[in-house]
Amino acid sequence: MSSNSSNFISAESFVKLAALLNAHIGKGSRQATFFSRSALQLATEILQQSGSGVAMSGLALRPSADNDMLVVESAVGINPNDTGMLLVSRGGSLATALDENKSVIVPNVADDAVLGLDRSLMQYKSAAIVPAHIVYGRDLVFVFLHPDENYFNADNMVILDAIAEQTSNAIQKHQLVKAIRTDDDRILQVHSESRKQLARELHDGPAQNMAALTMRANFARRMIDTDPERAKKELEDIEKLARDTTKTIRYMLFTMRPLVLESRGLRSALMNLAEKIKGTYGQEIYLTVSPDLPELKGTDASTILFYIAEEAVINAQKHAAAENIYVSVYLDENELVLEVSDDGVGLNLGQIQANYDQLGSLGMVNMRERAELLNGAVDVHSVIHKGTTITVRIPMTEMLPEPTES
């Protein structure tokens, strides 16, 4: 077969592989296995048509969780269940290919420290070991086997390296798509939880207050003629309850969409938060914002940080039985630090960690996930009967708006 014909077969096969892999990106949890098997099949097809016509076999291996062994992920032309090759020692040319991330030709399989020990591979004379480096996840290594001596050369190694690289790219795209979908699902879940929480707060607060206002107004109306003084006292109580309900609704509207965050920035939004919590719940909030903090307004990052601060403060106000809550925002080298502490009852962090899924209402999950959106981290330190401190660290590069092109 001529060189031009071989190149045509390779190009056509690569187009087919690309289409096949792209069609399966993001589908199912076992698609990585599909990708590696497709790569093995393509390599066999190309080399068989452009070479001697003798079928080539192949294995795709992944390092085990402890990295000591290699696990067979997929195979073509050889059945690992029949040969007992479900686990392969990480050594010889396999270790060289993985550790140095380079392809290795094995002229004589019998001489390899690992492949040569497996009796099921005695039918093969030569091998090519081709790694596929995976940036986010465990690497993959292909083992191509052929019954002819010195079968693998520089020309067909170029094809195998290209197939491995294309497969690596597809697997990484697959993982990224799945990660994005997981994030999207989590965002939808957070929005759903937020709506449920708002519904609970409306039911437990304003909705019940409105029902009470209706009943008490009806009672006062009935008392006007028979007991005017009692009716007057009842109307005064109704007026106070109506004011408190209005404060609560305004606070809810503020937390749902703090317009001051967009117009005047994070500092003013936190000041408003402290004032509204004091006015609504009577809870004292001591706020300290570093004077060298840059103006942060109108960015998604400042909105996320505001909601983290609000979550931490509300948790302390509702659950800590704290007399005082302290909020500090300052710069520490290249990080923005938000610190929320209280002098309340403290948390049993071990118990919370053990029941993490059931205690999502405490807000720990939301705070951590919001911080992770900004490549940040949340640290919680608590002592029973002495209070809790929540420290959030966000890289300043995430907080500042991207420069606009002039």
The CATH number of the domain where 394 resides is what?
Answer: 3.30.565.10
Q: Answer with the residue of higher pLDDT: 381 or 204.
A: 381
In a domain, 197, yes or no: no
Question: Which residue spans within 267-370 are E strands per DSSP?
Answer: 284-289, 324-332, 335-342
What pLDDT, on a 0 to 100 scale, did the predictor assign at position 4? 43
- CA 377 distance to own-chain centroid: 13
Q: Answer with the residue of higher pLDDT: 155 or 257.
A: 155
In a domain, 125, yes or no: yes
The overall average pLDDT reported for the chain is 77
Among 122, 146, 181, which residue terminates a domain? 181
pLDDT, tens digit, 9 for 90 and up, residues 313-367: 888 888 888 888 999 999 988 899 999 999 988 876 665 555 554 444 446 777 8
Domain that holds residue 371: 265-406
In a domain, 287, yes or no: yes
Range with the poorest average pLDDT among 22-31, 82-91, 107-116, 329-338? 22-31
Among 152, 181, 210, which residue terminates a domain? 181
Residue 43 near residue 163 (C-beta atoms within 8 A): yes
Print burial letters for 84-98: b (CB count within 10 Å at least 16), e (below 16): ebeebebbbbbbbbb
What pLDDT, on a 0 to 100 scale, did the predictor assign at position 244? 78
Residues 165 and 285 reside in one and the same domain: no
In the predicted structure, residue 85 carries a pLDDT above the cut 50: yes
Residues 18 and 126 reside in one and the same domain: yes
* 335-342 sheet: strands from edge to edge: 284-289, 324-332, 335-342, 387-395, 377-383
In a domain, 233, yes or no: no
Residues 29 and 166 reside in one and the same domain: yes
In a domain, 93, yes or no: yes
What pLDDT, on a 0 to 100 scale, did the predictor assign at position 179? 65
CA distance 78 to 123: 11
Half-sphere exposure of 159 (CA within 13 A, CB side): 27
Residues 378 and 283 reside in one and the same domain: yes
Q: Answer with the residue of higher pLDDT: 209 or 377.
A: 377
CA distance 378 to 285: 21
In a domain, 226, yes or no: no
Residue 145 near residue 124 (C-beta atoms within 8 A): yes
What pLDDT, on a 0 to 100 scale, did the predictor assign at position 170? 77
Residues 272 and 155 reside in one and the same domain: no
What pLDDT, on a 0 to 100 scale, did the predictor assign at position 340? 94
Half-sphere exposure of 309 (CA within 13 A, CB side): 34
Most confident of 3-7, 200-204, 293-297, 335-339: 335-339
What pLDDT, on a 0 to 100 scale, did the predictor assign at position 361? 43
Print burial letters for 381-398: b (CB count within 10 Å at least 16), e (below 16): ebeeeebbbbbbbbebeb
Number of domains in the chain: 2
Radius of gyration in angstroms for the set of CA atoms belonging to the chain, rounded to a whole number: 33
In the predicted structure, residue 16 carries a pLDDT above the cut 50: yes
Q: Mean of the pLDDT values across residues 382-399? A: 89
132 backbone dihedrals φ, ψ, rounded to 5°: -125, 100
Q: Mean of the pLDDT values across residues 156-161? A: 85
